[in-house]
Amino acid sequence: MKNHSLDAPSVKILAALQQNSRLSTAELAEAVGLSATPCWRRQKELEDHGYITRYAALVDRRKVGLMVCCLAHVSLNRHSAGVVEAFESAMQARAEVVECYETTGNSDYTIKVIVPDMEAYQNFLHEVMFKLQGVSQINTNVALREVKYQTALPL
């Protein structure tokens, strides 16, 4: 399997697993129109070649008390290797940072932070972000409501 050269059955397998990764091999095979053994082999190849990186359960954040979603746009005042590495390592280490992107535009990074309340976000800013060397500015957008949240990629 080469990147971007997936055949139709492999794309169907990926699409089906994005909707429900708990499908049994038999259920998956039926959904994509293959017999069980070839379907299992293709799924294994997709895993081995890195198309499928992991399987996960999607948790309703509100039901576990994580009520606030913030998108923080972070600018660095220096882009030296040490500053960038320290910032990215700090983002990797923080559980409340669920996504982090290096971006173009007015900021260097956009991070998605999920916390129980605004006090927790304020604590995150003061205890983590404001203490990071090289962070010059943080502009935050707070999500008022979720219009669309989807994890499946458009294949």
- Whether 46 shows a pLDDT value over 80: the answer reads yes
| 93-143 pLDDT tens trace | 999 999 999 999 999 999 999 999 999 999 999 999 999 999 999 999 999
Which pLDDT does position 5 carry in this prediction? Answer: 83
| Secondary-structure breakdown of the chain: helix, strand, coil percentages, each rounded to the nearest 5 | 40, 20, 40
| pLDDT of 45 above 70 | yes
Share of the chain above pLDDT 90, in %: 94
Mean pLDDT value across residues 68-72: 98
Is residue 1 over pLDDT 80?
no
Residue range 71-94, pLDDT digits in tens = 999 999 988 889 999 999 999 999
- Under the banding of pLDDT at 50, 70 and 90, the label for residue 4 is low
What average pLDDT is seen over the chain?
95
Percent of the chain with pLDDT over 70: 97
**First vs last C-alpha separation in the chain:** 16
Q: Which whole-number Å values give the CA distances from 14 to 2, 22, 27, 41, in the listed order?
A: 15, 13, 14, 13
| Confidence at residue 16, expressed as pLDDT on a 0 to 100 scale | 97
pTM (2 d.p.): 0.89
